[in-house]
Structure 1
Amino acid sequence: MSDLTCPHCHTELPHSANTCHGCQAEVEYGVPSSAFILLLITAIFIGVATRNMSLGGWVALTAILVCGSVALTSLFANRIAFKR
């Protein structure tokens, strides 16, 4: 893996860094937490909408969570974000 360059202070960092050594910006890899929270809220909403969490609701909730998690993980596989 190649080194990363901080967009804030232009310090070179190894790919496994959690914070920038120059400006202390946090380095996030992968799926943002907000995407998983939105997926959970969507799954619960659809599950409840299908006859007040009957068996079909639980199946829908589980399917959305599993498929959505797989989709988010592959969609954000190469994401690297620097946050101050």
Structure 2
Amino acid sequence: MNRTHYKCSYCDTGVLRAARFCPGCQAELHCGAPVGLYLFALVAAIAIGAACSSALPEAESWAGWLIGLAAWVAGWGLLDWLYANHVTFRRNRTDRPDA
């Protein structure tokens, strides 16, 4: 397949990048990183911000949270970059291929 199409992992049908469902088997397309990784990046950024904030003097503790915010933005951007071309096809267990 070329850059404008994906190949369905269930029925081998070519699927346009802008599509939400496979026209062959109606599997749903999910693009990008899993949501759990974004949540992990958020929790890690909060932990980094809290650690940096507690390590700094009280008058400058806001800088620790700024570092945490920067870590969150960097983590989000890294996930978007790493999973830019990642696509998964999902079907409900009740879905059956056409016979």
TM range, normalised to the smaller chain? 0.7 to 0.9
For 1:13, what is the secondary structure of its paired residue?
A: strand
Distance between the aligned counterparts of 2:25 and 2:39, measured in 1?
A: 29
Distance between the aligned counterparts of 1:67 and 1:3, measured in 2?
A: 29
Match of 1:68 in 2: 75
Match of 2:95 in 1: none
Aligned amino acid, residue 77 of structure 1: A
Match of 2:4 in 1: 2
Aligned amino acid, residue 66 of structure 2: V
Match of 1:33 in 2: 35
Unpaired runs of 5+ in structure 2?
56-60, 92-99
| RMSD of aligned Cα (Å) | 1.9
Match of 2:63 in 1: 56
Comparing 38-47 with 22-31, which one deviates more in the overlay? 22-31
Instruction: Please report the TM-score for the alignment, with normalisation by the length of structure 2.
Output: 0.70
Match of 1:77 in 2: 84
Q: CA deviation at 1:74?
A: 1.3
Distance between the aligned counterparts of 2:79 and 2:65, measured in 1?
A: 21
Aligned amino acid, residue 15 of structure 2: L
Q: Which has the greater radius of gyration? A: 2
Q: CA deviation at 1:22?
A: 2.7
Aligned amino acid, residue 78 of structure 1: N
Instruction: Please report the TM-score for the alignment, with normalisation by the length of structure 1.
Output: 0.79
Percent identity of the aligned residues? 36
